[in-house]
Structure formats: structure tokens, C-alpha cells
């Protein structure tokens, strides 16, 4: 995998994390208090701007009261616009 694909995965993970956090009615500060992870770091994770360690994922899942696998359901974190972009890109690639 090239670095662009890894970056995309980090972005998708971050979007999903933010989605789950909001669904649970929690703020970044709530997560900081529960995990000890600085809310600035949480923001960077949610924006796909930093790599994330396994133990951090475990702490986040515990604070959100979800199984870790829930944070990897990226397709549910895509916006309608992003889904349209993905479909458009696939269509363009097929036509070439």
C-alpha cells in the first residue's frame, strides 16, 4: 500500500471515530477525561492527521463503550458527497 492509501485509512478511521463519539453524545473533553488522551490528539486522530497505536484504539473504544471493530466500519462514516465521489471515481476508472 502506498502512503496515500494509508492516509485515506487514517482519515476514514477518524471520521468514524468522530461519528461514534457524536452518536454517544460525548465531547472530545469527555474522551480525554476517560482515556487520558489529550483532546488535541483526539482532534488530530479525528481529522486523520496522526497515526494511531493499537492501545489508543482500545482506549477510545472503551471510552465510547463500543467494540473496537465498531470503529472500523468506515463505510457508515462516509457522507453522501463522499459516496458520490467514490462512485464517480469508480465509473471514470471503468470507462478508461
Q: Which domains does the chain have, with CATH numbers?
A: 3-95 (1.10.260.40)
CA-CA-CA-CA torsion for 61, 1, 48, 86, nearest 10 degrees? -100
In the numeric block, the cell 471515481 is attached to 89
CA distance 76 to 12: 10
pTM: 0.75
Whether 69 has a pLDDT exceeding 60, the answer reads: yes
- The reported pLDDT for the residue numbered 77 is 47
For residue 24 the three cell numbers come to 454517544
Are 94 and 86 in contact by the 8 Å Cβ rule? The answer is no
From 1-5, 10-14, 18-22, 66-70, the region with the lowest mean pLDDT: 1-5
Amino acid at each position: 500500500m502506498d502512503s496515500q492509501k494509508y492516509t485515506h485509512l487514517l482519515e476514514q478511521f477518524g471520521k468514524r471515530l468522530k461519528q461514534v463519539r457524536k452518536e454517544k453524545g460525548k465531547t472530545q473533553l469527555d474522551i480525554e477525561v476517560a482515556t487520558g488522551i489529550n483532546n488535541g490528539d483526539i482532534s488530530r486522530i479525528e481529522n486523520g492527521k496522526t497515526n494511531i497505536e493499537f492501545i489508543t484504539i482500545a482506549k477510545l473504544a472503551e471510552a465510547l463503550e463500543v467494540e473496537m471493530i465498531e470503529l472500523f466500519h468506515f463505510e457508515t462514516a462516509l457522507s453522501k458527497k463522499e459516496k458520490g465521489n467514490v462512485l464517480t471515481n469508480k465509473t471514470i476508472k471503468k470507462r478508461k
